[in-house]
Structure 1
């Protein structure tokens, strides 16, 4: 009936460990606030070292019990345990020295500083046990990590190919990465909480202090799965609620693997897994929208001249040399004003000529913009008679031709453009075409019609 007392006292270690730290740090501060032959803090210092030593003993005992009952290995805790006792003995030694004298012993500040160093190092080792040896290092910039001699690699996230995922080794390529991401920090060879190691299939099958964690073919009877779906407030829920929680899709993958037999030779395609479950893990290559070519930044005088001429000009993003140019405040811009843009022609990726006085001749000038990605010719006199000249713009992705005289045939001249992805042609003759056909790019001409709702026929 009373077997729970020792394990319970062991679990008080994270609480008790702060007592000696606070009490002894208070005593050490008083030592350094005291001048030579000064005794006004002397009694408080003696009491602080005595109580701090007692608290350190209680903390060391609770830590030993936690090691005994929580599955930590001796290699993990040994130096923290030894230094904890050294801290307690040093505190008692300093109390003994002050208790037998009515003034500070010689070199007492140096001895107190040594005790403070012991506190810091012991606490650091305790933090490493709880949070991992790289807890303080992993947030530092990679350059500083390298200078300190650390090569930290975060656990790789689960990535599944959209094609051929059925042939993935279910455990090694799917389940193990999930366990590494969500469980490895507490269940590894150095920190075997609950005497459980989840870093390989072999040690997983050995189970922990409560026995096996996986019942082949029955996920609901397997703690490896059943603990994941407990309410977060439940003390048996894993991972603990303050830790990173696995995705519901990751839990579903573990369940399906166990139900499939929980072996190392099964394939992902053998389980009843839907593509919706796998979708969060599909590899998605994020392609930059604007060109990756490096160009020199436009000079400040060039930007200033553009603004004085009436252009809106700014970079598309911080620390980017690409320029966004708009004529929203320069509606009188015409073909003859093109010379203003020549000094920055290599930096322009976004050009808005909406509502300006340009004609089809502007298309010859646009071909001199090697990095143009977005072009807006809305509400201009462009009729598309020489639209094919835009093929010279090898980076062009989005073209806006709204409220122009462009028709579907002339839009067709852009078919098979090397980079064009979308063309917008609202309120144009092209938008009146019943069957515009298919293009190598996405053509948006509007004509949206919302489905009729029952409430549309109700008369109030």
Structure 2
């Protein structure tokens, strides 16, 4: 009837360990605040070491019972257990000295400092048992870990190709990367928490101290899955709530693999997996919008001169030398004014000539901009007679021709442009055309009308 007492007392260990830490740390602090010629804090220090020793004893005893009844191996707890008792002996030793002499013995500060180091080391060993040996270091940058002599095993995130994913080896190329990211920090050859190693398929099949973690075709009998879906507050939930948690799609992939039999032979395409489930893992290459070439910056004097002429001239960002040039405040700009931009023609990536007095001849000048990416010719008199020359602007991606005289035939001359992605030609002769042709770029010519909003009729 009373057999539960020792296991219950063992479970108080995580609570009891905080008491000696607090008392002893407080005592050590008072020791260093005290002067040898005063006994102001002597009684408090004596009491701190006494209570610290008593609760360190209770913590060590409860830790022993937790080791006995909770399934920990001796190799896992031995140094924590030994240093726990060293802490007990040291605490009572310092209490005996300061109580016996009713004064600060010789080198007492050094002895108190040593006790504090022992206390920290004992607590660190306990933290390793509960959170894993890499608990403190795993959040450090890889470079710093390497400097500390720690072997860095950076687990790459799961990446799945958008084409041909059906042929991926389900375990090796999908499940194992998920386990590496979410489970391997605690379940690897060096840190086999619960005697479980999830670094390979063979060790996964071996299971841990509680038995097998995978039973093919049985989700309920496969803790490698079932523990993932437990509430985070559940003590059996894995990974521990303070660790990185797998996303919903990763859990779904593990579930489908177990349902397939949990073997090495299955392919990802064998499972009832949709592309929506795989979307978070598809590799999407982020291409920079502007050219990646390095370019000399325009001089401050040149930018100042352009601004005095009426141009808006700014860099794309503080880290970039590419320029955005706009004639928003220089509506009188005409073809002859192009010479004012020649000094920065290599830096211009965005040029806005909206509402200016340019003609089709300006295209001959625009084609000389080697890095032009965005060109706005809106509300001008151009007809697009020589738009095909813009094919020489190989970096051009977005072209705006709204409210011009450009026809669909002129826009067709841009077909095959090496970089063009979008052309906008609203309120132009091209927008009045009925065409079926598809281009290698997006063509926006349809008129869009927004529905009226209630706020449109409010009088302020």
The answer, yes or no, to whether TM exceeds 0.5 is: yes
Inter-CA distance 135–347: structure 2 relative to 1 (3 Å threshold)? farther
Structure 1 match to 2:213: 213
Q: Helix, strand or coil: the match of 2:228?
A: coil
Q: Whole-Å Cα distance in 2 between the matches of residues 203 and 2 of structure 1? A: 39
Q: 1:354, 1:376 within 8 Å by CA — same for their partners in 2? A: yes
Structure 1 match to 2:49: 49
CA deviation digits over 1:111-144, x for unaligned, max 9? 1122222233333344444444444444445554
Cα RMSD, aligned residues only: 2.6
Q: 2:334, 2:356 within 8 Å by CA — same for their partners in 1? A: yes
Count residues in correspondence. Answer: 451
Q: Whole-Å Cα distance in 2 between the matches of residues 390 and 342 of structure 1? A: 18
Q: Helix, strand or coil: the match of 2:413?
A: helix
Return the TM-score normalized by structure 1: 0.89
CA deviation digits over 1:54-80, x for unaligned, max 9? 222333344444455555554444433
1:90-109 residue pairs with structure 2 within 5 A? 90-109=90-109
CA deviation digits over 1:393-451, x for unaligned, max 9? 11111111111111111011111111111111111111111115111211111245899
Structure 2 match to 1:458: none
Q: Helix, strand or coil: the match of 2:324?
A: strand
Q: Whole-Å Cα distance in 2 between the matches of residues 400 and 146 of structure 1? A: 52
Q: Whole-Å Cα distance in 2 between the matches of residues 296 and 40 of structure 1? A: 70
Structure 2 match to 1:313: 313
Q: 2:427, 2:447 within 8 Å by CA — same for their partners in 1? A: no
The unaligned stretches of length 5 or more in structure 2 are: 452-460
Q: Which moved more, 1:69-78 or 1:187-196?
A: 69-78
Structure 2 match to 1:284: 284
Mapped pair 1:443 → 2:457: no
Q: Helix, strand or coil: the match of 1:100?
A: helix
Q: Whole-Å Cα distance in 2 between the matches of residues 324 and 69 of structure 1? A: 71
Inter-CA distance 224–146: structure 2 relative to 1 (3 Å threshold)? closer
Structure 1 match to 2:269: 269
Mapped pair 1:238 → 2:212: no
Q: Which moved more, 1:217-226 or 1:120-129?
A: 120-129
Q: Whole-Å Cα distance in 2 between the matches of residues 131 and 52 of structure 1? A: 25
Structure 2 match to 1:353: 353
Q: Whole-Å Cα distance in 2 between the matches of residues 182 and 339 of structure 1? A: 60
CA deviation digits over 1:152-174, x for unaligned, max 9? 34321111122222222211211
Q: 1:70, 1:194 within 8 Å by CA — same for their partners in 2? A: no
Q: 2:422, 2:443 within 8 Å by CA — same for their partners in 1? A: yes
Return the TM-score normalized by structure 2: 0.89
Q: Whole-Å Cα distance in 1 between the matches of residues 235 and 219 of structure 2? A: 20
Inter-CA distance 200–61: structure 2 relative to 1 (3 Å threshold)? farther
Structure 2 match to 1:328: 328
Q: 1:72, 1:192 within 8 Å by CA — same for their partners in 2? A: no
Q: Whole-Å Cα distance in 2 between the matches of residues 185 and 91 of structure 1? A: 35
